[in-house]
C-alpha cells in the first residue's frame, strides 16, 4: 500500500504513444520487424561514475589507440597489404586486424556522442578508414595475415584462421562509422567483404563453394547489424546460415569452436567463453529479427544455465586459463578465474540483447554486475593500462607469469583484443542503459544524464553507485497521454523507497513486477521521481556447490563487489586473514583513495598458523564443520585486524600484491 494519499497507478495498460520511440545511434538498432519487448533508447551520460570513465576513455585511451596500433604493427600490416609499405607482417596472430576495427568502432561512437567536434580524432578515423579500404582486395576479401603470410590462401583454415571473425569486426566498425558520421566509406568496405563472404559460403546445394563456419564466432551478430543498417535481408540470411551451421561437425565437433552441438540443443554454455558469447549474441539478434521461437528459447535456456552455474560473483566468465574455456557447472576458481575482459564485454552485449528481446530485468541485472565489476576491473583508473584476465584472488607469494595473463596491468597485449574492445564498450556505454516501448521508457542502468526514447525524456541526477538516491525529472512528455516510467530495481536490492509526486512506496508496497518498478501516469515536464536504494554493505555467500568458496563470504555494496588488497593490509599477507561475520560492517567514502571510492571495513583477525612441519595435511578434528578444515587450527585466534575492502573494479591500481574477493570465516 502506498504510504501517502495518492493516485495509485492505473492497472490498465496505457494507450500507446503516437509513434514508437526512435532507435538510438548505438551498437544495437533493431530492424523494423524485430520481435522485441523493448527498443534501445539513447542516454547521455553527463556526470558521475560512468562519465568519469567515459572521459578517461575519451581523453586517454582512445587517443592513444592509433599510436599503439602503429607500434604493434597493425597499421603497418594494412599498408603492406595495400602495397604502400615494405617489410614483413608484424604480430603473432591472424586476427590482428580486429584491433584496428574495434578501435574504429570505439572512435566512431565517441565522435557520435562525446566529441562530435573533435576534428583531430575525426581525421585519425578517416586516415585509418582509408588504410583499411586500400588493403582490401578487388573482390572484397580483406585479411592482412592471409594476404601477406599465407599467400592469399583463403578459407583453408576456418578453425584457426579467424577470417570471418575479422570480417565481423569490420562489419561492426563499418556500421558504427556510418551511424556515427553518416559517411559510407568504411561501411562500403564492410559490405564488399560481406558480399564476398556471401558469394563463397552457403549450405550444400547452394552453389556456393564453401559450406563452413568460422572457429571464432562474431560474424553472426555483425551480419545481423549490417542487415539492420542496410535493410538487406541477405545479410540476415547469411547470419542465420552461420548460426545454424555451428554444432554439426564442420570444425570436428569441437566445443572450443562452438561446434560440439547445435545451439538449439545445447543445455549449457561451453568451450571458449568469448566464442560462445559472441555466438549467443548473434543468435539472440537473429531470434529478435526473425521471431524464431526455438532459437529464443535456446538463448534463454543457455543464459539461465550460464548465470546459475558458470558465472563468477563479479559477472566474470570463463574458468579455465587453458583454452580460455568455460569450466564445468559450479567450477568457479578464484586465483585461476580467467574472466577475460572480452568475455565480460561479450556478456554485456549478449545480455543487453536478451533484455531487449524479452523485456526481463534480470538480464540488465547481470549487465550491471558485469559492468561495475568483471568488466571495469579490466580498465585501469588512468585509462592507460589493462588486464586481460580478471582473477578473484592473487595469492600471497604469487609468481606472476607476466604477459597477457599477468595480474599486473599492461599497456598493450601480444593478443590485444581486450583494450580496443573495452574502448568501444565505454564509448557507446549509454546505449546499454535504457530502452523504450509502446508503453514508455525503461531505465536499466542508473547514471546522471538524460534518458530519451522517442518523445519521452527524463533527466537523472545521482551519485550512484556510491550513493543510492536517483532523482529523476521528466523533461519531454506528450501531453494528455499516460505512459510508464519503468525503473529496474536491482536484484541485489533488499530495501528501497520511491517518491513520485505525492505517492511514496517502499519495497513492500511498490508496484514492482519481475524487477521493474512501473510508474504509470500522465506526466508533465518537471515531474519528479526520487528513488532511494538502500546501500547497506552486505556479506554474500555462494551456492554450496561452488566448492572454491566454501566457508567464505564476499563483501558487496550495491552493485559493487569488494576485495581486500595487500596495499591496505601491511604487516602480513592476505591469505591468513579471517573475517568475523558477527561484527558490523562500516562504510567510509574516501575521496583521496583510488580516484574516490567508498570502502567497507570489516572486523577480522590474522590466523596464527601452527608450524605443521613439512606436510600440510593432518587429522581432521571430528568436531563441527567449522574446525575441520584447519588441522592444528585453534592454536590461537590470532591478532585482530581491520579488514579494509575496496571495490574490486579498482584493484591493481597501486603496487603489486595479493588480492582476495572471498574471505574465509575461520
CA–CA gap between residue 244 and residue 251 (Å, rounded): 13
Build a one-symbol-per-residue string for 629-648: x at contacts with its own copies by CB under 8 A, - elsewhere: xxx-x---------------
393-422 residues in contact with its own copies (CB under 8 A) are 393, 395-399, 401, 405
- Contact between 540 and its own copies per CB under 8 A: yes
Build a one-symbol-per-residue string for 379-398: x at contacts with its own copies by CB under 8 A, - elsewhere: --------------x-xxxx
C-alpha 272, offset from chain centre: 16
351-380 residues in contact with its own copies (CB under 8 A) are 362, 365
Q: Which stretch binds its own copies (CB under 8 A): 137-145, 213-221, 414-422, 604-612?
A: 604-612
- In the complex with its own copies, the residue whose CB is nearer, 210 or 541, is 541
Spatial CB neighbours of 592, under 8 Å, sequence gap ≥ 6: none
Q: Which stretch binds its own copies (CB under 8 A): 173-181, 379-387, 429-437, 608-616?
A: 608-616
CB 484 within 8 A of CB 440: yes
Binds its own copies by CB under 8 A, chosen from 23, 158, 546, 563:
546
Binds its own copies by CB under 8 A, chosen from 336, 353, 385, 649:
336
490-509 residues in contact with its own copies (CB under 8 A) are 491, 494
Is cis: bond before 618, omega within 30 of 0? no
Binds its own copies by CB under 8 A, chosen from 13, 67, 626, 636:
626
- Contact between 299 and its own copies per CB under 8 A: no
Which string of b and e fits 451-481 if b means at least 16 CB within 10 Å?
A: bbbbbbbbbbbbbbbbebebebbbbebeeee
Pure H helices in 137-184: 144-148, 163-181
- Contact between 613 and its own copies per CB under 8 A: yes
Spatial CB neighbours of 607, under 8 Å, sequence gap ≥ 6: 576, 577, 578, 633, 638
Dig out the grid coordinates for 620 from the structure: 581432521
- Contact between 514 and its own copies per CB under 8 A: no
CA–CA gap between residue 318 and residue 606 (Å, rounded): 31
Binds its own copies by CB under 8 A, chosen from 113, 144, 147, 309:
309
Question: What DSSP element (H or E) covers 532?
Answer: strand 528-533
- In the complex with its own copies, the residue whose CB is nearer, 596 or 609, is 609
How far CA 266 is from CA of 108, 362, 424, 549, in Å, comes to 36, 21, 30, 28
> Shortest Cβ distance from residue 227 to its own copies (Å)?
31
Q: Which stretch binds its own copies (CB under 8 A): 105-113, 240-248, 319-327, 441-449?
A: 319-327
Q: Tally the C-alpha atoms within 13 A of residue 76's C-alpha that lie toward its C-beta.
A: 13
What's the DSSP call for residue 374? I
CB 579 within 8 A of CB 643: yes
Binds its own copies by CB under 8 A, chosen from 97, 105, 220, 270:
270
- In the complex with its own copies, the residue whose CB is nearer, 37 or 539, is 539
- In the complex with its own copies, the residue whose CB is nearer, 163 or 633, is 633
36-95 residues in contact with its own copies (CB under 8 A) are none
> Shortest Cβ distance from residue 594 to its own copies (Å)?
24
- In the complex with its own copies, the residue whose CB is nearer, 222 or 561, is 561
- Contact between 154 and its own copies per CB under 8 A: no
- Contact between 657 and its own copies per CB under 8 A: no
- In the complex with its own copies, the residue whose CB is nearer, 93 or 492, is 492
Helices 293-309 and 273-290, packing angle to 10 deg: 150
- Contact between 607 and its own copies per CB under 8 A: yes
CA–CA gap between residue 86 and residue 136 (Å, rounded): 17
Closest CA to 40 of 238, 179, 199: 179
Amino acid at each position: 500500500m502506498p504510504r501517502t494519499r495518492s493516485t495509485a497507478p492505473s492497472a490498465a495498460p496505457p494507450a500507446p504513444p503516437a509513434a514508437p520511440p526512435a532507435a538510438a545511434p548505438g551498437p544495437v538498432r533493431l530492424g523494423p520487424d524485430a520481435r522485441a519487448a523493448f527498443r534501445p533508447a539513447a542516454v547521455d551520460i553527463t556526470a558521475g561514475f560512468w562519465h568519469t570513465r567515459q572521459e578517461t576513455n575519451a581523453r586517454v585511451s582512445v587517443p592513444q589507440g592509433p599510436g599503439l596500433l602503429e607500434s604493434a604493427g597493425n597499421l603497418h600490416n594494412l599498408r603492406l597489404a595495400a602495397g604502400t609499405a615494405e617489410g614483413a607482417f608484424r604480430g603473432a596472430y591472424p586476427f590482428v586486424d580486429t584491433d584496428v576495427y574495434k578501435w574504429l568502432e570505439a572512435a566512431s561512437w565517441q565522435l557520435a556522442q562525446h566529441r562530435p567536434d573533435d576534428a583531430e580524432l575525426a581525421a585519425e578515423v578517416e586516415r585509418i578508414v582509408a588504410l583499411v579500404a586500400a588493403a582490401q582486395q578487388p573482390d572484397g576479401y580483406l585479411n592482412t595475415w592471409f594476404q601477406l603470410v599465407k599467400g592469399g590462401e583463403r578459407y583453408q583454415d576456418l578453425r584457426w584462421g579467424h577470417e570471418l571473425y575479422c570480417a565481423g569486426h569490420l562489419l561492426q566498425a563499418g556500421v558504427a562509422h556510418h551511424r556515427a558520421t553518416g559517411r559510407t566509406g568504411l561501411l562500403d568496405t564492410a559490405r564488399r567483404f560481406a558480399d564476398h563472404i556471401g558469394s563463397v559460403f552457403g549450405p550444400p546445394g547452394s552453389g556456393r563453394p564453401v559450406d563452413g563456419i568460422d572457429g571464432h564466432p562474431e560474424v553472426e551478430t555483425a551480419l545481423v547489424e549490417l542487415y539492420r543498417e542496410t535493410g538487406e535481408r541477405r545479410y540476415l540470411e547469411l547470419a542465420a546460415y552461420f548460426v545454424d551451421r555451428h554444432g554439426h561437425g564442420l570444425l570436428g565437433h569441437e566445443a572450443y569452436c562452438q561446434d560440439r552441438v547445435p545451439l538449439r540443443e545445447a543445455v549449457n554454455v561451453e568451450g571458449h567463453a568469448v566464442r560462445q558469447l559472441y555466438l549467443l549474441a548473434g543468435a539472440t539478434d537473429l531470434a529478435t529479427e526473425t521471431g524464431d521461437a526455438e532459437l529464443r528459447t535456446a538463448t534463454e535456456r543457455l543464459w539461465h544455465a550460464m548465470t546459475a552455474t558458470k558465472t563468477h560473483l563479479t559477472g566474470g566468465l570463463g574458468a579455465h586459463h587453458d583454452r580460455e574455456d568455460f569450466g564445468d557447472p559450479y567450477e568457479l576458481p578464484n586465483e585461476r578465474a580467467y574472466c577475460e575482459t572480452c568475455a565480460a564485454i561479450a556478456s554485456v552485449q549478449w545480455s543487453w540483447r536478451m533484455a531487449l528481446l524479452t523485456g526481463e530485468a534480470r538480464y540488465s541485472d547481470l549487465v550491471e554486475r558485469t559492468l561495475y565489476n568483471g568488466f571495469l576491473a579490466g580498465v585501469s583508473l588512468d585509462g592507460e593500462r589493462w588486464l586481460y584476465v580478471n582473477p578473484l584472488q592473487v595469492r600471497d607469494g604469487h609468481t606472476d607469469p607476466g604477459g597477457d595473463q599477468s595480474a599486473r596491468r599492461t599497456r598493450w597485449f601480444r593478443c590485444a583484443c581486450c583494450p580496443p574492445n573495452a574502448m568501444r564498450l565505454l564509448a557507446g556505454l549509454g546505449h546499454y542503459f535504457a530502452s523504450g516501448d509502446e508503453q514508455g521508457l525503461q531505465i536499466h542502468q542508473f547514471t546522471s544524464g538524460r534518458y530519451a526514447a522517442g518523445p519521452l525524456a527524463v533527466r537523472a541526477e545521482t551519485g550512484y553507485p556510491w550513493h543510492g538516491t536517483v532523482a529523476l525529472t521528466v523533461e519531454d512528455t506528450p501531453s494528455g497521454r499516460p505512459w510508464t516510467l519503468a525503473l529496474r530495481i536491482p536484484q541485489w536490492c533488499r530495501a528501497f523507497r520511491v517518491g513520485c509526486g505525492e505517492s511514496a512506496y517502499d519495497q513492500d508496497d511498490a508496484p514492482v513486477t519481475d524487477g521493474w518498478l512501473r510508474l504509470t501516469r500522465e506526466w508533465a515536464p518537471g515531474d519528479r521521481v526520487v528513488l532511494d536504494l538502500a546501500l547497506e554493505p552486505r556479506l554474500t555467500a555462494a551456492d554450496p556447490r561452488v566448492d572454491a568458496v566454501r566457508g567464505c563470504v564476499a563483501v558487496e555494496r550495491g552493485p559493487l563487489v569488494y576485495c581486500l588488497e595487500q596495499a591496505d593490509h601491511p604487516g602480513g599477507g592476505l591469505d591468513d586473514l579471517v573475517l568475523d561475520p558477527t561484527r558490523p560492517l562500516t562504510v567510509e567514502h574516501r575521496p583521496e583513495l583510488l580516484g574516490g571510492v567508498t570502502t567497507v571495513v570489516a572486523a577480522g583477525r590474522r590466523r596464527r598458523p601452527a608450524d605443521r612441519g613439512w606436510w600440510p595435511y593432518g587429522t581432521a578434528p571430528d568436531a563441527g564443520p567449522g574446525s575441520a578444515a584447519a588441522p592444528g587450527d585453534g592454536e590461537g585466534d590470532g591478532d585482530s585486524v581491520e579488514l579494509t575492502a575496496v571495490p574490486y573494479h579498482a584493484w591493481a591500481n597501486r603496487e603489486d600484491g595479493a588480492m582476495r574477493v572471498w574471505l574465509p570465516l575461520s
